[in-house]
């Protein structure tokens, strides 16, 4: 059986001279005429602009982005932390098969979260921030064992000394 009090009517009329529409009558009950309604998850309006539907979808997506940010934070705090542990010491000397194994873990995380986390991207920020500290700070233990001339570029590789 139909519930008359839940039934609504929406009139879509594209004529220039719109005339007033009388409500539909069903079993001696008139249906309520509405300007917008939600049908199968899609917001419909009488003159068919999609702004109401778009704003509804945008609002839902913005709410869900919070969870994606939380997943990214979780990845960076747990998995990336493990992967970057002492990375400046071992990453450049890894074999190709070792890097592929590590990249497989990163790729799985990328597929789950939907965000790109290249393995070299984990390595580069750690080395970029670590090398100047070791080279140019006079209180650093590596400073006495190396000189700036050892770290100048020759060709495409950087010559460095280990402490």
C-alpha span between 23 and 105 (Å, rounded): 61
- The pLDDT value given to residue 126: 54
- The pLDDT value given to residue 156: 42
Q: Is 155 a domain residue?
A: no
**Do 71 and 140 share a domain, yes or no?**
yes
**Do 87 and 127 share a domain, yes or no?**
yes
- The pLDDT value given to residue 19: 74
**Do 117 and 83 share a domain, yes or no?**
yes
Helix, strand, coil abundance in the chain, percent, nearest 5: 55, 10, 35
Nearest alpha-carbon partner for 160 in 132, 124, 139: 132
Report the number of distinct structural domains present in the chain.
2
- The pLDDT value given to residue 157: 44
Strands (E), 1-138: 8-9, 25-26, 29-30, 32-33, 36-39, 42-45
> Do 71 and 112 contact (CB within 8 A), yes or no?
yes
Tokens standing for 92? 């450049």
Burial 50-87 (b: 16+ CB within 10 A, else e): eeebeeeeeeeeeeeeeeeeeebeebeeebbeebbeeb
C-alpha span between 51 and 57 (Å, rounded): 10
Q: Is 103 a domain residue?
A: yes
- The pLDDT value given to residue 6: 77
- The pLDDT value given to residue 152: 42
Residue spans of the chain under pLDDT 50: 130, 132-133, 146-163
CA distances from 145 to 36, 56, 99, 131 (A): 75, 62, 30, 14
Angle between helices 119-136 and 96-113 (to 10 degrees): 120
pTM for the full model? 0.42
C-alpha span between 143 and 152 (Å, rounded): 15
**Do 69 and 141 share a domain, yes or no?**
yes
Q: Is 98 a domain residue?
A: yes
Range of the domain at 26: 4-49
């Amino acid at each position: 059986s139909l519930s008359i009090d839940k039934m609504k009517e929406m009139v879509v009329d594209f004529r220039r001279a719109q005339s007033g529409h009388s409500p539909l009558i069903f079993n001696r009950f008139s249906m309520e005429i509405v300007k917008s309604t939600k049908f199968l998850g899609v917001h419909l309006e009488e003159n068919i602009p999609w702004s109401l539907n778009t704003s509804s979808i945008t609002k839902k997506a913005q709410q869900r982005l919070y969870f994606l940010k939380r997943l990214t934070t979780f990845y960076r705090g747990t998995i990336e932390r493990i992967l970057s542990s002492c990375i400046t010491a071992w990453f450049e000397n890894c074999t190709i098969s070792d890097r592929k194994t590590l990249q497989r873990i990163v790729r799985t995380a990328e597929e789950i979260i939907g965000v790109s986390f290249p393995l070299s991207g984990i390595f580069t920020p750690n080395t970029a921030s670590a090398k100047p500290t070791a080279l140019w700070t006079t209180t650093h233990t590596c400073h006495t064992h190396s000189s700036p001339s050892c770290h100048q570029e020759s060709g495409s590789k950087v010559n460095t000394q280990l402490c």
